[in-house]
Amino acid sequence: MNTKFIVKIALFHLGSLLFFTSCTSEKYTTENRTKRPNILLIVADDLGFTDLGCYGSEIKTPNIDALAKQSVRLTSFCTGPTCSPTRAILLTGVDAHRNGFGTTNDDWAANQLGLRGYEGYLNFDVVTFPKLLQDRGYHTSIAGKWHLGSPRRKEQWPINRGFTRSFCLLPGGGGHFYDQQPLFSFIPKSLYAQDSILAKQLPKDFYSSKNYADKAIEYIDESVKANKPFFHFLSYTAPHWPLQVPDEFVDLYKGQYDSGYEELAIQRLEKGKKQGVIPEYTTLPTLSPNVEPWEGLKAEEQQKASKSMEIYAAMIERLDYHTGRVIQHLKDKGAYENTLIIFMADNGAEGNSIMGYEGTGEWVDTTFDNSLANMGKLNSYIELGTGWAQASSLPFKWYKAFASEGGVRVPIMIHYPQLKKAGNTIHHDFISVMDLAPTFLELAGVQHPQTEYKGREVFPMNGTSMLPWLAGKTTTVHPVDKAHAWELYGRRGVRKGKWKAEWMEAPYGNNEWELYDLSKDISQQYNLAASQPEVLQELINDWDNYVKSNNVTVPDRPTAYATETIWRE
């Protein structure tokens, strides 16, 4: 363990301000439990930076936009590059290379096999904040995507990682209807777990966003009945592919995207500027080299591409509708004013494809009906594509699975009426997904055990509580000269103040470090590595320190995800 870091964290907690005096006591009576704040965490799966109306989208998201008007919106909030590393960090406040997701499951390079921190599931070197909340009287629950453990290993299920109640899709994705369509050809079906039992079948009217919201309402009601504060994790699988929406909503956006992704990018860039989430100086970034210009597509290809985006937009609109149901339920129960609500995405928009996996293309062709008329329905399997993913990730470079800003910078809003920064404000400084767990714990008046939990050694949190900043006690969450780093599939990023250094393999990068000034070039169009060698070297040194502190092992070869699912000629 890093002794200096442990001391620093301990001193921080000793000096931190608790906002609820009833939480300072070790005795938790029924009366003061109910006064403690509730926490509702809502995560959309693969939602791009400009996919919400309050971030510049044309998609109708009135409920989330209304929440944003009462929230702090962040424009420089960063996650991990893909789903499971982000979720593991989110639940623990601990770097992915410590919590088990130094790489994702089944994407190990030879030199990563068997290493601590590279298990491919949420390991037991960490303790989740829901478990700590549960220990102190909270009703904890989750509905939706898990993606942090094997469906075959019950000890890795949510019910054994701190959740009182759970209804979860255990794998990383799947069909959104009752048929439990798997995500990959080599998986028999998508598996759902209700607490400790696998669901044999789903109701015929099942649709992911609707049923996850139904469960959120059910679990919140349970906490009210039990007279306990709650933490609920509403973990949507929308708008992750396969893109599907109930038949009555398939045509919600019919014809809206016929002008193509380049035209959509222009529209969103201007709307994002008007919303205040994209700097005024920003120009339209060039298309990524794996994106075919819209005019280069054949008429049939344009039709199918437009339909894909229509379905994607409809999925987001339905996600917004069901989010609105949950928020209204909080109001109806009188719990809204005492609930911290966070809405966020888990990484950038998804421009990757599974078609590169052996046998997958044949499986899709023979199993599903992807004709134009059937796209988005139960027996279809549709992906978003690189062009729309780039438009959704504007104004940033690349998208999910990359260490660039398009992969890790996402929309987020924080709503809690009792804190100073509760109104319609926008904040531009760097904040990390690592900062959520310590924020939740401090808000609830619960301390992290630091290095030992119930007889086992655990890592302390890497994140910093946002509460002093949200309360107006500090001007920033992190010092401007603090370095933040991440890595996945060998792709590396280091952020310090206005500077961002990145390393990506060819053909996405040039197999060497690049440098960008994000204060002038948020789209990362101008590599300053040659003209600012001293700055670059400083960030490379920060990267080396990060590697040593977190036992990072960069893969000795490209992994399956990086080589087979992304580059499509």
Tell me the one-letter amino acid at 97: H
For residue 31, being part of any structural domain is answered with: no
Mean pLDDT on 355-373: 90
Cβ-contact 100, 121 below 8 angstroms: yes
Upper half-sphere CA count for residue 266 (Cβ side, 13 Å):
5
Work out how many domains the chain is built from and give that number.
Answer: 1
Residue with tokens 């023979």: 366
What gap in Å lies between CA 293 and CA 288, rounded to an integer?
10
For residue 20, being part of any structural domain is answered with: no
What gap in Å lies between CA 142 and CA 158, rounded to an integer?
8
pLDDT of residue 29: 37
Upper half-sphere CA count for residue 489 (Cβ side, 13 Å):
27
Active-site choice (23, 54, 83, 168):
83
The DSSP symbol for 259 reads: T
Residue 557 neighbours by CB distance under 10 Å: 10
What gap in Å lies between CA 52 and CA 386, rounded to an integer?
19
pLDDT of residue 19: 36
**Token pair for 324:** 């609105």
490-532 per-position pLDDT tens digit: 999 999 999 999 999 988 999 999 999 999 999 999 999 999 9
What gap in Å lies between CA 75 and CA 427, rounded to an integer?
6
What gap in Å lies between CA 195 and CA 165, rounded to an integer?
6
pLDDT of residue 355: 84
Listed in sequence order, the residues at least 6 apart from 404 whose beta carbon sits closer than 8 Å to its beta carbon are: 396, 397, 398, 493, 502, 504, 524
- What percent of the chain shows pLDDT beyond 70? 92
CA–centroid distance for 121 within its chain: 17
pLDDT of residue 14: 34
3-class SS at 75? Answer: strand
41-94 per-position pLDDT tens digit: 999 999 999 999 999 999 999 999 999 999 999 999 999 999 999 999 999 999
- What percent of the chain shows pLDDT beyond 90? 85
For residue 158, being part of any structural domain is answered with: yes
Domain that residue 287 falls in: 3-8+36-564
CA dist 157 to 59, 151, 166, 189, Å?
A: 34, 7, 9, 17
Q: With cut-offs at 50, 70 and 90, classify the pLDDT of residue 361.
A: confident
pLDDT of residue 32: 44
For residue 22, being part of any structural domain is answered with: no
Whether the pLDDT of residue 17 is over 80: the answer is no
For residue 515, being part of any structural domain is answered with: yes
pLDDT of residue 356: 77
Mean pLDDT on 476-480: 95
Mean pLDDT on 234-252: 97
DSSP 357-397: STTHHHHHHHH----GGGTTSTT------HHHHHHHTTTSS
* Cis bond upstream, residue 239 (ω within 30): yes
Upper half-sphere CA count for residue 36 (Cβ side, 13 Å):
31
* Known catalytic membership, residue 83: yes
Q: With cut-offs at 50, 70 and 90, classify the pLDDT of residue 207.
A: very high
Residue 334 belongs to domain with CATH number: 3.40.720.10
pLDDT of residue 561: 64
User: Residue 360: which of 519, 561, 167, 193 has the closest Cα?
Assistant: 561
pLDDT of residue 186: 84
Listed in sequence order, the residues at least 6 apart from 371 whose beta carbon sits closer than 8 Å to its beta carbon are: none
Chain length of the chain: 569
3-class SS at 211? Answer: helix
Q: With cut-offs at 50, 70 and 90, classify the pLDDT of residue 350.
A: very high
What gap in Å lies between CA 469 and CA 256, rounded to an integer?
41
pLDDT of residue 295: 97
What gap in Å lies between CA 225 and CA 43, rounded to an integer?
25
The DSSP symbol for 37 reads: P
pLDDT of residue 418: 80
pLDDT of residue 267: 98
Whether the pLDDT of residue 453 is over 60: the answer is yes
Q: With cut-offs at 50, 70 and 90, classify the pLDDT of residue 560.
A: low
For residue 368, being part of any structural domain is answered with: yes
For residue 474, being part of any structural domain is answered with: yes
What gap in Å lies between CA 11 and CA 207, rounded to an integer?
47
Q: With cut-offs at 50, 70 and 90, classify the pLDDT of residue 421.
A: low
The DSSP symbol for 156 reads: G
Supply the mean pLDDT for the chain. Answer: 91
Mean pLDDT on 10-37: 42
Q: With cut-offs at 50, 70 and 90, classify the pLDDT of residue 105.
A: confident
CA dihedral defined by 392, 394, 400, 405, rounded to 10 degrees? -160
pLDDT of residue 260: 98
Active-site choice (147, 322, 478, 484):
147
Q: With cut-offs at 50, 70 and 90, classify the pLDDT of residue 562.
A: low
- The DSSP H or E segment spanning 43 is strand 38-44
Upper half-sphere CA count for residue 279 (Cβ side, 13 Å):
12
Whether the pLDDT of residue 4 is over 60: the answer is no
For residue 331, being part of any structural domain is answered with: yes
* Known catalytic membership, residue 147: yes
Q: With cut-offs at 50, 70 and 90, classify the pLDDT of residue 187.
A: confident
CB neighbour class for 442 (10 Å; exposed up to 12, middle 13-18, buried from 19) = buried
Residue with tokens 């030879």: 110
| Whether the model pTM is above 0.85 | yes
What gap in Å lies between CA 462 and CA 190, rounded to an integer?
33
Mean pLDDT on 357-385: 93
What gap in Å lies between CA 381 and CA 547, rounded to an integer?
39
Which of 108-117, 181-190, 477-486 is the least confident region?
A: 181-190
Whether the pLDDT of residue 157 is over 80: the answer is yes
Cβ burial 239-250 (10 Å sphere, 16+ → b, else e): bbbbbbbbeebb
